[in-house]
Structure 1
Amino acid sequence: MSKTVLITGCSHGGLGEAMAKVYHAKGFQVFATVRNMAKAGSLADYDGVEILELDVTSAESIRHCAQTVAKHTGGRLDVLVNNAGVNAIVPLLDASLDEAKKVYDTNVWSVVAMVQALAPMLMQAKGVVCNISSVSGEMVFAWAGVYSSSRSAGTRISETLRLEMAPLGVRVVTVILGGVQTSGNDPNNIADLELPPGSQYRKIASVIDRHKKTMVHPNKQKIDIAAKNVVDDVLNGHGIFIRRGQASTLSWLCNTFLPYRLFTWMINRECLRLKRKCQPSESARRRHVPMAEESDARIARLEDKMESLLAAMQTFTSSFGPLAEAIQPLSTSNAALENIPRTDFSARPALSSATVSTHPNPSLQSRSYAASPTASPPNQADEQLEYFRTRMLPYFPFIGLTETTTHDLRQNRPFLLRAIHTVTTLSTQERLIQVEELKRLLFTSALLEVKSSMDMLLGLLTYIAWSTDPFLGRADLVSRLMMLAISLVYDLRLFKPSSPDVQVMMAISQGEAEEPSQHLNAETLSSLLEKQRAVLACFILSSNLSSHLGRQDALNWTPRMEEALHILTLNGPCPTDKLFVSQVRLQLLKQKAENVRQLEETECAHTGTAPATISLPQLLYLKTLRRQLQELRSSFPSDLSQTAFSMTQPLNISGRLGFERLECLWQSVENIKSWLDSFGAIHCSELIGQPFHFWSQMIMSLTLLKYLSTLRDPEWDCQAVRNAVPLISTIDSMLQKLDQSRQQPELQCNDHLLHYISKLLTRCRLWAEARWDMTCPMQEANVLSARSPDATSHNSYIPDLDQIAWMQSMDLGDDQWFDEVLSIPTAFD
């Protein structure tokens, strides 16, 4: 039986709704309550989510809700989330006591009422109560006396419940929530401030209104990220206090380490500067103008200092976010402390000195990545690492992780561990949350702190290799991450040894050479091979992205890389090094063929002529490459033939004549057939672990097959292509294999990559079935030509892949993209 959760306050656009979706994605039966059923939003469309109408201030409504839940669950409830709350921004002198009591009824007493009503079910399940409070309960804000005091009281109630329910087997946690982007915080959804006619604050009503509409605190965390973090922390038992949202940790730091009056002044300084506007006496202000100006100057100087202090503290919490998240109030239980990353204050010097990636002690590198706020619990982290090592890495084995443990990675390669957690998250919705955290760490380390480390490079390459972004409308992100990885290769000087002048400059500026001999002598074989695999992997990925997206050039092949390949060939200690070497050599042949094509295009551009024929040296070179390709393929053992595949790109042959052109065209058909045969030989359980370039080649193969099957040329036999590799039956067999793969237990979500690939193939098949004339391709060409004057020119040549618009804009998660692309009658693009 699936676990159950009841969440109050699930109106559309709020944190409750976002948490309900996260719990639902984790397999929970969700009871989402709203006060107004019209505000349920999209939750009603989710199977496994029950929408209940509930007024948390009504005892009768709570009783009826508890009865409904008990009827559905058999008297058990695993998680209760008291999320319902209301805001109130008004000066205390103008506050209505009746309205203030309503705020307390919702923010304080409803927590007690809900726990009282559901306690038997919680005790039956040994469940968890999660009470959502706010950083406002820790601060003294002007104009927010009613709201902040209710949150402070709610926190105390939650803490008391924790003590009283622990003997009953129920765990109670308190969430101190910072700034989060919800519909309730949207200024457009907040009514204007209304003050009574006699209010002392009417002159500054606009300022108070800005506070009410949260416009003074514009920086807020995305709601999906906050919800995912809170749910993970609750389920994983991360302490009795959970701090999530913008400035939640900063609030505790300031409350703990700054004097009370100073902190209160800092967060209310705008209000204090307005105090003279509330004074009615104009003459009194004139008498004290000199004193006021001097006071203003002192305040301005103090503000400058405090701004510097705040900036420093914010830099501290962003740069050492994991450490700050680990610092919890002193009341945190020992059990909670065991889940906190083992990073103490004595490690701070190592943190600051870890910016030099060539440090001889790898354990001192990149400590600032340690355990991010969304880090996985120990058991889950071990499972993800094992899944990556056994189900994904074998198909692109550029890292040696044979005996590496999660603990080892957390200590020495924390960013790589974060990337592994991201790529092993198969649900697209959940992965997006992980990606945001990964991007934040990258931005902080690579741009703000300007670090370069092997940890960062390996993590980047891991994410790029198994990224789904190019297929989901985020090709720009992968392209830019690839450029960052290439820049790290250059920064770490992995592509070639340092020249003498660089070593001299490093010795002058930093007191030692960049690659001193003692470091080289101390460098282990494992570290050397790790760097060599990384630079070779960077070459493969950049070459594939270059051909697939056309937005950047591949990493240049250098003699140092050739040496690295030779060393791995002779001395690779990992069993998978032989496969990785074969993949590199295949990609190198493909890139060399691409370089020939680019050279030819450059020569034609200079001379202003069409590529009527290929030069004799280029032809001989291509023949040599083709022979090397055949030799390499024939050298593959049977256990490598299914994974060490590649497809050479067809040259730009649109202007060539005669046998040479036809030979190239038919070679492309043979290449596609060879790739599809390799695809058919792969077991369905192995598809989910394939890297990005596998799926890229699959889409390229089908695209080129479509062009070769419809190429309008009197010398080209389209029917022969269709007989050799029939498009529709090929799609059918691929769909069948994908459907079998989707039965794997880890693919029970409906937003994984294979789901989207199947969607693409299904739509392509419908397109082909509606427009395909298997018996008379030339008749089809004539009909299409009559319909569209552009059809003849379109189907008379094969464009470069980076010129096919639909491949550049691919978004398999967007139905509108499918309609725009596959509704065109003449071609995919």
Structure 2
Amino acid sequence: MPRAVDSEFVPASYGQACVHCVRSKTSCRRRIEGGPCERCLRRGKECQQAPGGRREIGKRAGSRTTRLEEKLDSLVTLLQTSAASGGGPSILQPGAPAASTSAPAAVDASDVRAQAGFAPPGPSSQHFPPTPSASSHQYSVPTPQSYTPGSDPENVSEDEAEECLLRFQTEQLKCFPFIYIPPTMSAVELQTERPFLWLCILAVSTKSAARQVALGAKIRQMVATRLIVEHERSVETLLGLLAFMGWANYQLGPSQPFLSMYCHLITGLTQDLGLDRLPRKADEPMHPMACLKSHHTLAMKLAAHAVRTMEERRAVIAAFIITSEVSAFRAFCFNRTVDGLRWNSSMDEYLKDLEERQEAPLDKVLVTLAKLKLIGDEALRPYSLPSRPTDQLGFLQVFQVKTLQASVNQIREKLPAGLETEGSVLLHFLEIELQIHEIGLYTVPPRGKTTHAPDSQRLAMLARCVQAARSWFDCFFSLPPASYAHYSFSLWVQLCHAITSVYRLSLLEEPGWDTSLVRDSLDLMQLMDMLVERLKRTAEEAGLEVDRANAFTNVINSIRTIRNAWEPMLRRQTADVVVQGEAAAPAFQVPPMDSFSAEFLDGVNGWMSDMMFSWDGIS
């Protein structure tokens, strides 16, 4: 009977597979006389042929720039024709004369992707691409169409889809370059080839807050169906999750604690695909599957994936970075870490290949972020360890700080020209230095001692910690408010860490430590006022379509709540120092790290949970 069934169906010719078989990447078998394919017939689904067909292999353009110009010229012509007939928005700036639509200079989009870091590495592209503030005025794009709640959030016009993809390539990927998308690829092509990845990119790049929320709900349903119900394991799903988590700040809300869960999904998916290890050779005598009869099938699969692609290498490195970010966030806020993707020798090989080849212009950024994250994880270890007396850790702390700082300096010296001054990279450097010198906060006085002599080495580390925090905030406030909309989740983890450090340094009671100097250099109340003022301008200057409840308004409201909770304690501490001097009884003792989470969060009314609007569950 099975042979009879097999004889009814034959493999579909190239380009004739149905949509469902193409998406599931399975063989499409059809009847000779026509009708639905075997898979759709078995599942009871409507069988439709996938769009497109065999790609014609013709003469390629002489250069990538030429191909890009031809594609953009055709897109501009299409949009101009649509605008002239009243059928769609114009790509020109408002108020531009209609006669100028035929001039190529009206749209400078031909060099946008190249200026944003997508030109092939060479002598002319050694410098890092310009910041969003510098490149955003070199071309104009149509404003996004308003999203109506209840409609399909994935249904966007072609010009809006191209705008979202362009924004993602030229602005957002600078902060978290987990993938390389060729500049010649259009949004339609990306949606056809990788629909789930495109959906995740659209969710983090659209300017409509309502559309982001709707797309986030749809993505979560698709993740549950793909990974839990259908047990699908694919690189596309991993890349989609990396895009979704890379800008998770747009999807987090009071009833959506999912950071830890999605962190585990990324880790598990990477390991299930075997990407975290170098591929093993199937003909190895000690291969664990060599004793099975079905080993020849496994050998064929392993032979087909004997070498990791550059895309897979980027995905693994990015998975390590984002899971480490989530772990650091929980450590800073709740003194609890998440077991993310662990670094191993195979990842060392991936990192080395990315650094040496640099097939994509932003690979150098990804390599730098991974190296800094490795150093940050070393500095973060005391967060998960109980505090120990100063006399036991003093020497170890000084040695650790010097070693980690030397590693940071070594990375900085090898940076390509212009990369260190890029905002996203510079913020990472400053935040890592803050983590390193913050090691001085981990120790507490030995048991039974209420006072002890000033520790000059620890005081020096605390002073450098203040300096690093000041440098980080100076860099943050130097960025255009509109650029905050493009930064990844890492920026908000760093902001959370910096605020926490300033708070603890402002209230730390340590012999020889003058908290008034901290407040003179970093006035926490003034910092929060400046944060609120700049975040108010972000949505307007970035052209976001926001409503009352969005990522930035939630942060603003939370910062105001935190400020009101902190102000009495800071004012009381200031009054004690002024009236009684340094000999006054401590008004606030920084709790040891093993009890920091409960006491600290209870003492300030759960400020950190409120600040990040329940970005993750703490229970």
Does TM-score exceed 0.5, indicating one fold?
yes
1:394 matched residue in structure 2: 174
Asked whether the 8 Å contact 1:419–1:460 carries over to 2, the reply is yes
Residues 172, 488 of structure 2: 8 Å contact kept = yes
| Distance in 1 (alpha carbons) for counterparts of 2:52 and 2:360 | 32
Matched residue of 1:776: which SS?
A: helix
Higher alpha-carbon deviation: 723-732 or 554-563? 723-732
For residues 470 and 397 of structure 1, the distance between their equivalents in structure 2, rounded to whole angstroms, comes to: 20
**TM-score, scaled to structure 2:** 0.63
Note the C-alpha offset of 1:470: 7.9
C-alpha distance in structure 1 between counterparts of 2:468 and 2:165, whole Å:
35
Q: What is the CA–CA distance in structure 1 between the aligned matches of 2:443 and 2:525, rounded to whole Å?
A: 26
1:671 and 2:457 are equivalent in the alignment: no
Counterpart Cα distance in 2 of 1:624 and 1:561: 22
Q: CA deviation at 1:393?
A: 1.4
2:406 maps to amino acid? R
Shift of residue 315, structure 1, vs aligned partner:
10
* Corresponding residue of 2:559: 761
Whether 1:543 aligns to 2:331 is: no
Alignment check: 8 A CA contact 1:472 1:810 kept: no
**Structure 1 segment 333-348 matched on structure 2, within 5 A:** 342=51
Name the structure 2 match of 1:730. Answer: 527
- TM-fit CA distance, 1:792: 4.6
Q: In 1, are the aligned partners of 2:153 and 2:211 still within 8 Å (CA)?
A: no
Aligned pairs for 1:76-225 within 5 A = none
| Corresponding position of 1:684 | 481
User: Is 1:708 the counterpart of 2:500 in the alignment?
Assistant: no
The letter of the residue matching 1:754 is F
2:126 is the alignment partner of 1:383: no
Instruction: Indicate the SS of the match to 2:571.
Output: coil
Q: 1:746 to 1:800 in 2, by over 3 A?
A: farther
Q: CA distance change for structure 1 residues 677 and 506 in 2, over 3 Å: closer, same or farther?
A: farther
Preserved contact between residue 395 and residue 690 of structure 1 (Cα < 8 Å): yes
What is the deviation of 1:653?
1.8
Secondary structure in structure 1 of the residue aligned to 2:169: helix
Aligned length: 444
For the residues of structure 2 that align with 1:490 and 1:563, how far apart are their CA atoms? 17
Distance 2:278 2:292 in 1: 14
Rounded to whole Å, the distance in 1 between the matches of 2:521 and 2:532 is: 19
Q: Which residue is 2:86 aligned to?
A: none
Say if 2:528 and 2:559, in contact at 8 Å, map to a contact too.
yes
Find the residue that maps to 1:743 and give its secondary structure: helix
Counterpart residue number, 1:177: none
Question: What is the rounded CA distance, in whole Å, between the counterparts of 1:503 and 1:373 in structure 2?
Answer: 47
Find 1:643's aligned residue among 415, 419, 424: 424
Aligned to 1:513: 299
Report the CA distance between 1:706 and its aligned residue.
1.4
1:574 correspondence with 2:360: yes
Q: 1:655 aligns with which of 444, 448, 451?
A: 444
Q: Residue 400 of structure 1 contacts residue 530 of structure 1 at CA under 8 Å; is this kept in 2?
A: yes
How far apart are 1:635 and its partner, in Å?
4.9
d(CA) in 1 for partners of 2:557, 2:349 = 43
The aligned residue for residue 4 of structure 2 is none
**Unmatched runs of 5 consecutive residues or more in structure 2:** 1-34, 54-150, 331-335, 446-451
Aligned residue number for residue 263 of structure 1: none
Secondary structure of 2:424's partner? coil
Q: How many angstroms apart in 2 are the aligned matches of 1:676 and 1:588?
A: 23
| Aligned-partner Cα distance in 2 for 1:412–1:801 | 48
Greater C-alpha radius of gyration: 1
Q: Is 1:560 the equivalent of 2:346?
A: yes
Name the CA distance, whole Å, in 1 between partners of 2:476 and 2:413: 18
Give SS of 1:670's match: helix
Q: For 1:581-605, what per-residue CA distance to the aligned partner results, in whole angstroms no more than 9, with x for missing partners? A: 111111111012223665x64xx8x
Q: CA offset at residue 410 of structure 1?
A: 2.2
The Cα shift of 1:513 comes to 2.2
Residue 552 of structure 2 corresponds to residue 773 of structure 1: no
The answer on whether the counterparts of 1:773 and 1:780 sit within 8 Å (CA) in structure 2 is no
Question: Which of the numbers 372, 380, 392 marks the counterpart of 1:594?
Answer: 380
Aligned CA distance change for structure 1 residues 518 and 396 (closer, same or farther; 3 Å): closer
**Could you list the per-position Cα deviations for residues 171-210 of structure 1 after superposition, in whole angstroms to 9, with x for gaps in the alignment?**
xxxxxxxxxxxxxxxxxxxxxxxxxxxxxxxxxxxxxxxx
1:488-507 correspondence runs (5 A): 488-499=269-280, 500=284, 501-502=287-288, 504=290
**1:810 match: secondary structure:** helix
How far 1:613 sits from its partner (Å)?
Answer: 2.3
Q: Does 1:809 align with 2:609?
A: yes
Secondary structure, aligned partner of 2:248: coil
1:476 & 1:725 partners in 2: Cα distance? 32
Unaligned runs of 5+ in 1: 1-256, 258-311, 318-322, 328-339, 345-371, 818-829
1:436 aligns with 2:234: no
Distance change >3 Å, CA 638–CA 719, structure 1 → 2: farther
> How far off its partner does 1:416 sit?
0.9
Distance 2:354 2:608 in 1: 35
SS of structure 1 residue aligned to 2:356: helix
| Cα pair distance change 1:514/1:443, threshold 3 Å | farther
Determine which of 613, 624, 628 is the counterpart of 2:392: 613
The residue matched to 1:375 in structure 2 has which SS? coil
| Most deviating of 508-517 and 390-399 | 508-517
Going from structure 1 to structure 2, the CA distance change for 1:376 and 1:619 (only over 3 Å counts) comes to same
* Gap change, CA 1:544 and 1:733, over 3 Å in 2: same
CA distance in 1, matches of 2:406, 2:596: 25
Structure of higher RCO (CA pairs closer than 8 Å, 6+ residues apart): 2
SS in structure 1 of the partner of residue 484 of structure 2: helix
Give the letter aligned to residue 609 of structure 2.
S
Q: Secondary structure at the match of 1:473?
A: coil
TM-score in terms of structure 1 length: 0.48
Which secondary structure does the structure 2 equivalent of 1:397 belong to? coil
> For 1:500-521, what per-residue CA distance to the aligned partner results, in whole angstroms no more than 9, with x for missing partners?
524637882571327533543x
Equivalent-residue separation in structure 1 for 2:291 and 2:191 (angstroms) = 34
Q: Which residue of 2 aligns with 1:59?
A: none
Report sequence identity in percent.
21
Q: 1:749 aligns with which of 518, 534, 546?
A: 546
Which amino acid letter does the alignment assign opposite residue 655 of structure 1?
A: V
TM-aligned CA deviation for residue 634 of structure 1: 5.2
The DSSP-based 3-state class of the residue aligned with 2:259 is helix
* Pairs within 5 Å for 1:224-623: 316=43, 342=51, 374-379=153-158, 380-403=160-183, 404-468=185-249, 472-474=253-255, 476-499=257-280, 500=284, 501-502=287-288, 504=290, 508=294, 511-513=297-299, 516-520=302-306, 528-549=309-330, 550-595=336-381, 598=384, 601=386, 610=389, 612-614=391-393, 616=395, 619-623=398-402
Aligned amino acid, residue 810 of structure 1: D
CA apart distance, 1:560: 1.1
Deviations 1:714-746 (A, max 9, x none): 332101111222223322333333233222253
CA distance in 1, matches of 2:170, 2:264: 28
Structure 1's 660 and 573: CA in aligned 2 closer, same or farther, altered over 3 A? same
Supply the AA of the counterpart residue of 1:497: L
Counterparts in 2 of 1:418 and 1:378: CA distance versus 1, 3 Å: same
The superposition leaves residues 690-722 of structure 1 with CA deviations (integer Å, 9 ceiling, x where unpaired) of: 111201211221122112112233332101111
| Alpha carbons 2:279, 2:302 under 8 Å: kept | no
Assess, with a 3 A threshold, how the Cα gap between structure 1 residues 415 and 772 changes in structure 2: closer, same or farther. Answer: same
- Contact kept in structure 2, 1:718 and 1:777, CA below 8 Å: no
Using the TM superposition, give the Cα deviation of residue 465 of structure 1 relative to its aligned residue in structure 2, in angstroms. Answer: 0.9
How far has the Cα of 1:387 moved from its partner?
A: 2.0
